[in-house]
Amino acid sequence: MIDVADLRKEYGGFVAVDGSSFSIGRGEVFGVVGHNGAGKTTTLKMLAGLIEPTDGTAVVAGHPAGSSAMQRRLGFLPEESPLYEEMTPISYLEFFADLYDVPDDVASERITALLDRLDLEHRDRNLGNMSKGMKRKVAIARALVNDPDVLIFDEPASGLDPLTTNAILEFTRELSEEGKTVVFSAHNLFHVESVCDRLVIMADGEIVARGTIEDIRSTYGGTSYQVFVSTDGEEVVGSDAIAAPVAEIARENGGLRYVVRNMDGVDAVRDAVEAAGGSVTDIQTKTPSLEEIFLEVAGEAAA
């Protein structure tokens, strides 16, 4: 549904996005993450046709980004989405449905269905008198009023309470299951990790990592094993006495914690510790969060 090739955006002499390329399939939730100034919002705006690239191409739903044909198949939710506060949710959405030439009977049914799914109450209240969470739900409904094939969500749950956030994330997953393609960007990487099938990490305008969460975790973080040991007053076993690489040894809760990268390391720690008179009390698997990986990858890119 989306094909991006060598996308580049310059402002004067400043390169905001430099040579981005990726493809996104139908029904996929695709994450675009990065620190402030990494180029992610510029990328989303180029996909939405709001700004023209300096170089490269973006094809969305089979049409060049920015073309009128593409706009009719796209729903865009920007990070900041001011609403017409004197309108009600119903009149606001009817207005945008009319802009997309959605027939009145279809629009009425679709608007009601969207607001029901988003669990929006007080539909006759002016938007200016609604909470931030309610306004965000209306903005999401606006992005869907033309029944688009592709959606771009930029910080859809920013600043919202946990219940509203969870509802929006669940709704995003439902849209994917219905076959809609969603480009999803958020600073809260737990949100990204919970909904995205694949993602790219951007730093200083470039894509520095890409793949599924598990691909990225395997490449940049990997699984480690924490072996907790009770020494019972016996001598501490150092890494030089263990027949496998040890990433870390730390005192913890009256015992020791060894960190190794594989099960061979676990067995080597157990053998060495038991030979020294200690015992293994627990073994835990640790996988890095997306946030931990992001900090590592972005830090390496900055270095």
pLDDT of 302 reads 64
Question: Using 50, 70 and 90 to split pLDDT, how confident is the model at 303?
Answer: low
Residues 33 and 73 in one domain: yes
Q: Is the pLDDT of residue 233 over 60?
A: no
Residues 206 and 237 in one domain: no
Residues 198 and 251 in one domain: no
CATH of the domain at 70: 3.40.50.300
182 three-state secondary structure: strand
Domain of residue 147 covers 2-218
**String of DSSP letters for 9-44:** EEETTEEEEEEEEEEE-TT-EEEEEESTTSSHHHHH
pLDDT digits (tens, 9 = 90+) for 32-60: 999 888 999 999 999 999 999 999 999 99
Looking from the CA of 178 toward its CB, the CA atoms found within 13 Å total: 14
Residues 125 and 243 in one domain: no
Residues 132 and 234 in one domain: no
Residues 37 and 153 in one domain: yes
In a domain, 292, yes or no: no
Domains of the chain: total? 2
pLDDT digits (tens, 9 = 90+) for 94-115: 999 999 999 999 999 999 999 9
User: CA distances (Å), 38 to each of 42, 105, 200, 291, in order?
Assistant: 9, 43, 12, 15
Residues 143 and 89 in one domain: yes
Q: Is the pLDDT of residue 159 over 60?
A: yes
Q: Is the pLDDT of residue 237 over 80?
A: no
Give 217's DSSP letter. Answer: I
CATH of the domain at 229: 3.30.70
pLDDT digits (tens, 9 = 90+) for 82-93: 899 999 999 999
pLDDT of 251 reads 82
Residues 234 and 214 in one domain: no
Question: Using 50, 70 and 90 to split pLDDT, how confident is the model at 261?
Answer: confident
Residue in this structure with the two tokens 């709001």, named with its chain if needed: 50
In a domain, 199, yes or no: yes
| Structural contact between residues 148 and 74, judged by C-beta atoms closer than 8 angstroms | yes
Residues 70 and 208 in one domain: yes
Residues 80 and 201 in one domain: yes
Give 236's DSSP letter. Answer: P
Residues 244 and 269 in one domain: yes
Residues 113 and 245 in one domain: no
Q: Is the dihedral of CA 229, 233, 239, 244 positive or negative?
A: negative
